[in-house]
Chain A
């Protein structure tokens, strides 16, 4: 303990080290704060929209208190769906940036509604949102490099290395220094995350896994830095090699892998599905109505005994061609989801080689802000949308009058619970390898002997 205090005193006397540690702590704290504020803002938005949506539904009821077959209420009623952020979402906002976490839907064609909110925030597309995951994966390695690049070379260049090694067996010296730096960086990252978790009411298990991800992610960069540092090169050379490794491992390889994945598993954008569905829906205006109804009845024979279409507009035809539109892109939807999931599988596999990718995958899963969460929300919307159709279709196809009491019986959306955490073998495997790298780096450093003077 006394030795660690001595080392701590040495670090605290180094302005650069203290500044680095303070900066990382501030960045991590800001990221957590920013994440908490974003989550609070999303909660606030959801809370604000809920009564407004009720007002909107009430205005439809006021406007159409009685309807012959529920067509107007079905068409004009927007039903709110929402996906509340999990207690861990502040750590990694993930896809909540680009995918809507709230969607007002109608009983019309679903696919167009699902993806019309798909936007790309150009401002955030390149750097991503400044959240804790960003600090851990992209910024923290730079601080590891800053604190370790001259661990050996600094002593060599100042002429102390031989004296220091003559005082001990080397292992003791480096173990203390590395352990202290590791501990300080862990505190700089872990403390804000811990405080954020307590404020957000994050589950203990998720918090433990988050801390394990932080510890393992640091272990990877410590291992790599120690391996390079133990080569005994000059500080500038060591820093250059480590910075190059950072660029390659956090920017170049993940980007190239992403490009390769996009090319090898081509997936249309959701907006393409929306356009295809709209094309089918709009095309319905151009073809004989009976043709549309036949296609609809073929898949939904329970409504085929419905009365024949009158010569004028009828809502059941309108809703039927929307559903036919959905069904016309069903294969594309399946392919789209399968493609996304396949990309996710390969992206997860990258975690074996790139602990940063693995750490990101775990944090996003813990935060329930990943693709799986987005698809789960879409599934929830799909279920609710089916409930809406099941509710309105008897009125539409059986010519059943729709009154005030029917408004009260409309389906109510219930949000999903955050998905249960499922073990991610690639990501955790990669992080386990990070510890091996850390041990290897430590062993390599312990073997260090001063070069010929």
Chain B
């Protein structure tokens, strides 16, 4: 584990510089600087109210920063939300899709909404790659477990073939096997060059897959740590820092 190196502008896909933002006059992010590079998994850790979801909202273009700059692959997500959202896929904490549609139908519908043309073969390929069993493709989501729903959401992200993936508490509620499967998919996406920003409480999950971890406290990124080589993170050290920083 080592301190974060300076990010290269050339490979930075998610970029937040000196950002201040909040809701209804209440400032939540105070001078946030965050950069996620292509082929990198960045985990943003923080307690409730630290500003994790607000950070995602900025990149999604749901929130306008009161100061600073936010860019998704060079595009201002608030100024040009459609252009920015074409660059990213988002998986919310609780994956809620259409219960009365099948996995295939959900993907077809949502991909169409994203103006992405996808034939049934590519949809099936994405569902398979996400680990969903073929017999579940045509079943309505009403009978799916949380893990299966998560797989459908991941399949959606895979089918999107976008350079950025935003994840909100992705392993919340998943059993260990599903978490491991999910992490495998994240690694796969990283190898494909996707920049992944995950916000989470789950320090262990972050330690498993992240290349860098940022500690967010009261709207500020108080520390960043990066995995070094194959050693990954030392969970005990991470936890100590997490506690010390109040994240």
Name A's B-contacting residues (CB within 8 A): 2-3, 6, 9-10, 13-14, 158-160, 162-173, 449-453
Q: Which residue of B lies closest to A170 (CB)?
A: B81
Contact B92 A159 (CB under 8 A): yes
Interface check B110, CB cutoff 8 A: yes
User: Which of B92, B100, B105 has a CB less than 8 Å from the CB of A163?
Assistant: B92
Contact B113 A3 (CB under 8 A): yes
B residues 79-114 with Cβ under 8 Å of A?
A: 81-82, 85, 88-92, 94-98, 100-101, 105, 108-110, 112-114
User: Which of B62, B94, B109 has a CB less than 8 Å from the CB of A6?
Assistant: B109
Given A3-B112, A3-B113, A165-B62, decide whether A10 and B96 contact each other with a Cβ distance below 8 A: no
* Dominant secondary structure at the B interface: mixed
Interchain nearest-CB distance for B234 vs A (Å): 32
Please give, as numbers and ranges, the residues of chain B lying within 8 Å of A13 by CB-CB distance.
98, 100-101
Q: Which residue of A lies closest to B109 (CB)?
A: A6
Give Cα A172–Cα B97 distance, bound, in whole angstroms.
18
Interface check B60, CB cutoff 8 A: yes
Please give, as numbers and ranges, the residues of chain B lying within 8 Å of A158 by CB-CB distance.
96
Contact A166 B88 (CB under 8 A): yes
Contact B60 A172 (CB under 8 A): no
Contact A163 B114 (CB under 8 A): no
Give Cα A25–Cα B153 distance, bound, in whole angstroms.
37
Interface size on B, as a range, is 20 to 34
Question: Given known contacts A159-B94, A166-B89, what 19 new A-B pairs fall within 8 Å (CB)?
Answer: A2-B112, A3-B112, A9-B109, A10-B101, A158-B96, A159-B92, A160-B97, A163-B92, A164-B110, A166-B88, A167-B113, A168-B85, A168-B113, A170-B81, A171-B82, A173-B113, A449-B63, A450-B62, A452-B53
Interchain nearest-CB distance for A367 vs B (Å): 42
User: Which of B62, B97, B112 has a CB less than 8 Å from the CB of A162?
Assistant: B62
User: Which of B81, B90, B110 has a CB less than 8 Å from the CB of A169?
Assistant: B81
Contact B115 A168 (CB under 8 A): yes
Interface check B172, CB cutoff 8 A: no
Given A158-B96, A163-B96, A166-B85, decide whether A172 and B115 contact each other with a Cβ distance below 8 A: yes
User: Which of B60, B97, B105 has a CB less than 8 Å from the CB of A165?
Assistant: B60
Some 16 contacts from A to B, beta carbons below 8 A apart, are: A3-B112, A9-B105, A10-B101, A13-B98, A14-B100, A162-B60, A162-B92, A163-B153, A164-B110, A166-B85, A166-B166, A167-B85, A167-B113, A172-B82, A450-B62, A452-B53
Interchain nearest-CB distance for A449 vs B (Å): 5
Please give, as numbers and ranges, the residues of chain B lying within 8 Å of A168 by CB-CB distance.
82, 85, 113-115
Please give, as numbers and ranges, the residues of chain B lying within 8 Å of A171 by CB-CB distance.
82
Interchain nearest-CB distance for A161 vs B (Å): 9
Please give, as numbers and ranges, the residues of chain B lying within 8 Å of A159 by CB-CB distance.
92, 94, 96
Please give, as numbers and ranges, the residues of chain A lying within 8 Å of B90 by CB-CB distance.
162-163, 166
Contact A452 B82 (CB under 8 A): no
Please give, as numbers and ranges, the residues of chain B lying within 8 Å of A162 by CB-CB distance.
60, 62, 90, 92
Number of A-B contacts (CB under 8 A): 76
B residues 136-191 with Cβ under 8 Å of A?
A: 153, 166
Contact A6 B112 (CB under 8 A): yes
Give Cα A171–Cα B81 distance, bound, in whole angstroms.
10
Interface check B54, CB cutoff 8 A: yes
Interchain nearest-CB distance for B95 vs A (Å): 8
Contact B62 A10 (CB under 8 A): no
Give Cα A453–Cα B48 distance, bound, in whole angstroms.
11
Interchain nearest-CB distance for A153 vs B (Å): 14
Contact B81 A167 (CB under 8 A): no
Please give, as numbers and ranges, the residues of chain A lying within 8 Å of B81 by CB-CB distance.
169-170
Contact B100 A449 (CB under 8 A): no
Interchain nearest-CB distance for A320 vs B (Å): 81
Interface check B128, CB cutoff 8 A: no
Give Cα A319–Cα B53 distance, bound, in whole angstroms.
92
Please give, as numbers and ranges, the residues of chain A lying within 8 Å of B98 by CB-CB distance.
10, 13, 160
Please give, as numbers and ranges, the residues of chain A lying within 8 Å of B92 by CB-CB distance.
159, 162-163
Please give, as numbers and ranges, the residues of chain A lying within 8 Å of B61 by CB-CB distance.
449
Give Cα A221–Cα B59 distance, bound, in whole angstroms.
35
Please give, as numbers and ranges, the residues of chain B lying within 8 Å of A160 by CB-CB distance.
96-98
Give Cα A453–Cα B153 distance, bound, in whole angstroms.
19
Interchain nearest-CB distance for B68 vs A (Å): 18
Max chain B Cβ within 10 angstroms of own Cβ: one of A14, A166, A168, A169: A166
Please give, as numbers and ranges, the residues of chain A lying within 8 Å of B94 by CB-CB distance.
159
Interchain nearest-CB distance for B166 vs A (Å): 8
Max chain B Cβ within 10 angstroms of own Cβ: one of A10, A160, A167, A453: A167
Please give, as numbers and ranges, the residues of chain A lying within 8 Å of B110 by CB-CB distance.
163-164, 167
Interface check B57, CB cutoff 8 A: yes
Give Cα A3–Cα B105 distance, bound, in whole angstroms.
12
Please give, as numbers and ranges, the residues of chain A lying within 8 Å of B166 by CB-CB distance.
166
